[in-house]
Amino acid sequence: MSTENKFIENTFHTARLKPLRKGKKPPKLLAVVHQSGCTGCEVCIAGCPVDSIELVPGPNPENPSFQQVVEIDLARCIGCQNCSQDCPWETITMYHHDDAFTAWSGETEKSELYITEEKLKLMTEKSTVLGK
Ligand code: SF4
Ligand code: SF4
């Protein structure tokens, strides 16, 4: 795999301004959205106690709410299972902590939280230019 396709944390995402998960032990379970079944209805967002579900805008920048989906920030999820119980389309699965990271790569097809190194590089260059 080339370095351009390696996914890393998007340090510019607004989720990084939210509080991190409290507690020393990682949760036993973490939630992962199977985005191919997600309708972007946002029901899961309303029930998340730690605000760890993020919208991924649709492909058209002129109409970002069309064909949007959600993704879950594994760094903040506390594994409460609200979202997996609330989703009307049963498209959120709870995984054991370590398995969730593997499942994420297969089920989270569109992400704003984790992006390619190449994309982060472009965003960094743009912010540097704007900051001048
Ligand atoms: S399991 Fe709970 S904390 Fe994690 S994303 Fe779902 S609602 Fe939020
Ligand atoms: S409740 Fe289910 S279908 Fe609706 S946005 Fe959340 S994951 Fe997608």
Q: Structural domains in the chain? A: 6-17+26-131 (3.30.70.20)
CA separation for the pair 129, 13 (Å, rounded): 18
Smallest CA separation from ligand 2 atom 3, residue = 38
Q: Which parts of 23-124 are beta strand (E)?
A: 29-33, 53-56, 69-72, 92-96, 114-116
User: What mean pLDDT is predicted for residues 18-29?
Assistant: 90
State pLDDT tens for residues 62-89. 999 999 999 999 999 999 999 999 999 9
113 lines ligand 2 (CB under 6 A): no
- For residues 21 and 75, the answer to whether their CB atoms sit within 8 Å is yes
**Cα–Cα dist 53/91, whole Å:** 13
Distance separating alpha carbons of residues 34 and 5, to the nearest angstrom: 21
Ligand 2 center–CA 46 separation, angstroms: 10
The answer to whether the CB of 32 is under 6 A from ligand 2 is: no
pLDDT of 96 strictly over 70: yes
Instruction: Record the tokens describing residue 29, joined without a space.
Output: 């379970």
Task: Give the bridge partners for 116, in sequence order.
Answer: 7
Q: What is the pTM for the complete model shown?
A: 0.90
Question: Of the residues 74, 83, 90, which should be mutated to test ligand 1's pocket, given the most ligand atoms within 8 Å of the CB?
Answer: 83
Task: Please check whether residue 54 is in contact with residue 84, taking contact to mean a CB–CB distance below 8 angstroms.
Answer: no
